[in-house]
Amino acid sequence: MANSEKATFGAGCFWGVEAAFRKVEGVLSTAVGYLGGTYENPTYKDVCSGRTGHAEVVEVTYDPARAAYEDLLAVFWENHDPTTLNRQGPDVGSQYRTAIFVHTPEQERAATASKKELEGSGRFRRPIVTEITPASTFYMAEDYHQQYLEKRGLAQCHIG
């Protein structure tokens, strides 16, 4: 897509995270998948085994003229608990880790600055454990995972 950039986030189960990003003005498309592991072409079953090293992620394609990367970071921080290691709600395992996978040096600087700002804000009593790491190969999840909540008429899957 012309005039588009990619951003990739891991924040627990990808269904709810994808739904949150799809609401952002300037987001052109989203895809859920797996990133950050060592196993090629993993399936959902492979990733759930905990042996591939992948995280469940959302790859966001956005128009930087309409949505700043910092806006996407704000959605990321607001939609999960960045203080829990390898866990979000009832989902436990390294595939549910909190992670920002950066595509450019500019994204790395912005992600690092936003994490530092959040750490200094006093909003969380525990340390933020979000990893910031270069994006590697993104493997798209199976079709039934794409826009899962939207296909089922659900707004979110977060546990209140």
Architecture of domain 5-151: 2-Layer Sandwich (3.30)
Tens of pLDDT, residue by residue over 10-27, are 998 887 889 899 999 999
Q: Looking at residue 145, what is its pLDDT?
A: 61
The domain segmentation of the chain, as residue ranges, is 5-151
Q: Is the pLDDT of residue 121 over 60?
A: yes
Query: Quick check: 61 and 4 in contact, CB under 8 A?
Result: yes
Q: Looking at residue 159, what is its pLDDT?
A: 44
The Cβ of residue 51 has, within 10 Å, a number of other Cβ atoms equal to 13
Q: Looking at residue 15, what is its pLDDT?
A: 77
Active site residues: 13
Tens of pLDDT, residue by residue over 46-93, are 998 989 999 999 999 999 999 999 999 999 999 999 999 999 888 898
Q: Looking at residue 126, what is its pLDDT?
A: 94
Tens of pLDDT, residue by residue over 133-159, are 999 999 988 766 676 556 666 555 554
Which stretches of the chain are assigned E, i.e. beta strand?
A: 5-11, 27-35, 55-62, 87-88, 91-92, 98-102, 131-134, 139-140
Backbone φ and ψ of 145, nearest 5°: -85, -25
Mean pLDDT of all residues belonging to the chain: 89
Q: For residue 160, give both structure tokens.
A: 């209140």
